[in-house]
Amino acid sequence: MTTRQLGGGIEVGPIGLGCMGMTHAYDASLRDEAESVRVIHRALDLGATLIDTADVYGPFTNEELVGRALAGRRDRAVLATKCGYRSNPDGPGLVKQADPAYVRASIDASLQRLGVDHVDLYQLHRVDPAVPLEDTWGAFAEVVAAGKARAVGLSEATLDEIQRAHAIHPVASVQSELSLWTRDWLADVLPWCRENGVAFLPFSPLGRGFLTGAMGTDRAFEKGDFRAANPRFQPQALTANQAIVDAVRAVAARHGGTPAQIALAWLLAQGPQVVPIPGTKRVERLEENVAAAGLVLSAGDLAELDALPAPVGARY
């Protein structure tokens, strides 16, 4: 399998693995730790070497699971984790925290949970508006200087924030939502990444499952699945957004592929710096996703997909 690069020359497979759903946010009844471990092992076997987690997933249990799965296989993985979000002590949801002391404590706690002496990529999960970004990013630079991370990146940051961080210490990657139904970063951040040798890591590249084509308009979500309250997954929005899936399915039929593979191939076609990290808890879905790296879309396919309508419903 051909490889792509994070900033700093860290090579990864063209498609990575997002591990969040193995312990967090989606239907808890479908979680199976043994199967999740098999998924991570199979990802490494297939060359999907970028394994992405975060301290807040669980919280904490996702890093512990990934650590157990990578025991004895650490040298085969490009291990990425994050800090900057934490559970809200005053109610549901998450709050941002990224002061330097918190960053220093968080990396040490993550390394302990993961059972490693360093990660390959340490990411700021969200910029904390209460802390000057320069202070936060200075602490991330300290993490690299201490040998606790090989490189650092940001998630869901604006172009201005990325540029300010990059002026202090090189930004290796930007992780933000990008897919056929979320294109917010195409105009500015993605071109900047291309020009500056910075990787772009699309999370939710399959539209939180919607772009697989397997989700009917009457889909009901289990308690604890955050899509139950997500605007794009309400019945009226699901019905309206079927037009997007139908168009993707038509392209897939021409290639003998699946809608998920077309959605991933479209992302890969956005540039060599793009490394999607679809999440899955099943080996067969992982294998389907990784196979998308071998699917080449024509100029006509790309034009057709580029012309898809915007989705009904906000991202959050």
Residues belonging to the active site: 57
Collapsing DSSP states into helix, strand and coil, what is residue 36? helix
Inter-residue contact 42 to 289 (CB < 8 Å): no
What's the one-letter identity of residue 274?
A: V
Give the C-alpha distances (Å, rounded to integers) separating 158 from 58, 98, 127, 135, 254: 26, 16, 9, 17, 37
The C-alpha atoms of residue 149 and residue 166 are separated, in whole angstroms, by: 16
Gap between the terminal Cα atoms of the chain: 35
